[in-house]
Amino acid sequence: MRILLIDDHTLFRRGLETLLEHHGIKVVAAVGSGRDGLVFARKLKPEVILLDLRMPEMDGLDILSELRSEGLDMPVVMLTTSNEERDLVESLRNGANGYLLKDMEPQELVAALHEIVGGKTVVAPEMTAVMAQVIQGGPTRPVSTEVEVEGPSPFSELTPREMEILELLAEGQSNKVIARNLGISDGTVKLHVKAILRKLQVHSRVEAAVMAVERNLFPKDGSSPRESAGG
């Protein structure tokens, strides 16, 4: 595994580099600024980028957004001290593949990195309650103050079946549970989820679920857009 480490704290950066190398993970570069991180990301094309959230001049979210806007799709993992809901949601919305806390055990970090390289989105265990709250009931405070630009909703491209599956994703259901509830195969669910992610232009099922919750697509009163549309 080839990792690019971007963190402005020199001692932490050097210590983490040594730790990862000890576990057989090659750190191709370890830099202390976002600008340098972007340069090395473009040049070295690492398998994973470990990215600090709080940094001067250019913070982790800025770097993440820049990477995605340039079409660099390697997994990006936020490694931070922040357990704030807003930071978690904004990271996932901007395309992060993981959100891990700096005080986690070394072996847990290594295991999480292997899962992320394998295609999973991993959130620190301490943040699962926050993630569940976001998915099940929406964020407790606004996650963005930006004015939403008017235009067609990306959800309008979803088929009735895809909307049905998105609703179950927003409830936190796994592919196997969704397949069982809808009477279809796991493979069919995976194909639908892949189509949903492509149409919504997001990188993970968690991002899709967060988007649905933020738009209040599936209100708690039991009504849903697919029902009201007759589909």
CATH number of residue 178's parent domain: 1.10.10.10
Residues 193 and 129 in one domain: no
Residues 100 and 46 in one domain: yes
Residues 64 and 31 in one domain: yes
Contact 29, 44 (CB under 8 A): yes
Residues 193 and 115 in one domain: no
Residues 158 and 53 in one domain: no
**Tell me, what's the pLDDT at 75?**
93
Residues 125 and 177 in one domain: no
Asked if residue 146 belongs to a domain, the reply is no
Residues 129 and 167 in one domain: no
**Tell me, what's the pLDDT at 43?**
95
**Token code pair at residue 129:** 């309650």
Tally the domains of the chain.
Answer: 2
Asked if residue 187 belongs to a domain, the reply is yes
Residues 19 and 83 in one domain: yes
- The full DSSP string for 102-140 is TTS-HHHHHHHHHHHHTT--EE-GGGHHHHHHHHHH--S
Asked if residue 147 belongs to a domain, the reply is no
With tokens 């993981």, the residue in question is 98
Residues 120 and 199 in one domain: no
Residues 64 and 90 in one domain: yes
Residues 184 and 121 in one domain: no
**Token code pair at residue 173:** 């259901």
**Tell me, what's the pLDDT at 151?**
52
Spatial separation of the C-alpha atoms in residues 152 and 149, rounded to whole Å: 10
Domain containing 79: what range?
2-136
Q: Which of 103, 136, 169 is the last residue of a domain?
A: 136
Spatial separation of the C-alpha atoms in residues 164 and 145, rounded to whole Å: 29
Domain of 11, CATH number, reads 3.40.50.2300
**Tell me, what's the pLDDT at 219?**
67
Asked if residue 17 belongs to a domain, the reply is yes
Asked if residue 6 belongs to a domain, the reply is yes
Asked if residue 200 belongs to a domain, the reply is yes
**Tell me, what's the pLDDT at 147?**
36
**Tell me, what's the pLDDT at 208?**
77
**Tell me, what's the pLDDT at 32?**
92
Asked if residue 161 belongs to a domain, the reply is yes
Cα of 180 vs its chain's centroid, Å: 26
Residues 9 and 75 in one domain: yes
**Tell me, what's the pLDDT at 46?**
95
Over the chain (231 residues), what is each successive 10-residue block's mean pLDDT? 93 88 92 93 95 89 91 92 86 88 85 89 77 56 41 79 86 81 88 88 74 71 44 39
**Tell me, what's the pLDDT at 26?**
94
Q: Residues near 211 by Cβ (< 8 Å), separated by ≥ 6?
A: 93, 200, 202
Asked if residue 8 belongs to a domain, the reply is yes
3-class SS of residue 79:
strand
